[in-house]
Amino acid sequence: MRRRDFIQGITAVSAAWPLVARTQQLPAQPLIGFLSTRSPEEAAIHTSAFRRGLEEMGYIEGRSVAVEYRWAKGDYSQLPPLVADLRSRPLSVIVATGDPAAHAVRAAGFATPVVFIVGQDPVRTGLVASMNRPGRATGVNFFTADLGGKRLELLCTFVPSAHVIGLLNNPSFGMEAVDQFRQSVTAAAQSLGRELVLQSASTDAEIDSGFAALIKAGVTALVMQNDPFFDSRRSRIIAVSSRYRLPGIFHIREFPADGGLMSYGASLADTYRQVGVYAGKILRGAKSDDLPVLRPTKFELVVNIQTAKALGLTVPQSILIAADELIE
């Protein structure tokens, strides 16, 4: 080999080394902590929506971003240790779904930006400074607690013979949230001339005994507080309602989709998608304080026609016209 060819070969190899080194030293994927009050199985449709939101911002889980999931499975006492575990991770952003999860993250004093889903007013509960300039935490206010009165009105239109209505709530969610929802439903019950029977449930056993107590009290229809614990026990609640032939109205579409009678509220799936978008924006460099807290602008009425037939109910024309979705 001629000396000139040898030197050129060495130069070419040397020039290639920095490229190889750069390839081997790719930056680690950003890491998102995902803290949920719910269970992974029943929340699967919503975590998929969260991933779609991330993808809209160019982040694909397992390729360009990693996600560490922690699930309280409806047991809010598990949130502090789950938060402590996530705090030990090198997180770029933390997502907290459900009021108890968001407040557990706040109590831990995270320096990491937070994106939340909450049902209560985040300004009144101290999560954010304001809706437009929220500070270190932002997200979606899944405005549902104030809809209790509207839900009762729709239920009474659907089941006009129901004069004793059960209200199922969960004190573990927080008494302020319970009281706010109760006041909304109570005011509607008084204006509609209905009697309201309150029943609490914070465990599986209390769901079963609570329904039995409501039936014993003469309840013939049900309104349920929006609560992540109840979401995580959706199948159980629908099964018990069916057993007692108790028509009910719920806060998210997934209840009638799984066999409940009806729901009225915002789309929780779209809310999770919006949270994914916000998390992606923060990963791209946006500051949480520049991302206003979002609120749903559209509320949907969903009715399961098959469940109505099974309960011996005729769907009123006004409900058929107002419904955004009829599940056959």
Residues counted in the chain: 328
pLDDT tens digits, one per residue of 266-292: 999 999 999 999 999 999 999 999 999
- Clarify whether residues 275 and 256 are in a common domain: no
Enclosing domain of residue 282: 31-143+267-290
* Whether residues 256 and 173 fall in one domain: yes
Domain match, 91 and 229 both = no
Alpha-helix residue ranges (DSSP H) falling in the chain: 3-24, 44-56, 79-87, 99-108, 148-158, 175-192, 204-216, 228-232, 234-243, 254-257, 268-283, 305-310, 317-322
The verdict on 108 and 181 lying in the same domain is no
Specify whether 43 is located in the same domain as 110.
yes
Whether residue 168 contacts residue 210, with contact meaning beta carbons closer than 8 Å, is answered with yes
Which helix (H) or strand (E) segment holds residue 168: the answer is: strand 164-169
Q: Strand 221-224 relative to strand 164-169: parallel, antiparallel, unpaired?
A: parallel
pTM for this entry: 0.84
* pLDDT above 60: residue 4: no
Q: What gap in Å lies between CA 194 and CA 249, rounded to an integer?
A: 16
**Number of folded domains that form the chain:** 2
Q: Specify if 125 maps to a domain.
A: yes
Residue 11 above 60 pLDDT?
no
Sheet architecture: strand order including 66-71: 66-71, 31-36, 93-97, 114-118, 137-141
Helix (H) or strand (E) holding 300: strand 300-304
Tens of pLDDT, residue by residue over 44-74, are 999 999 999 999 999 999 999 999 999 999 9
Residue 18 falls within a domain, yes or no? no
Task: Give per-residue pLDDT as tens, 230-275.
Answer: 999 999 999 999 999 999 999 999 999 999 999 999 999 999 999 9
CATH of the domain at 121: 3.40.50.2300
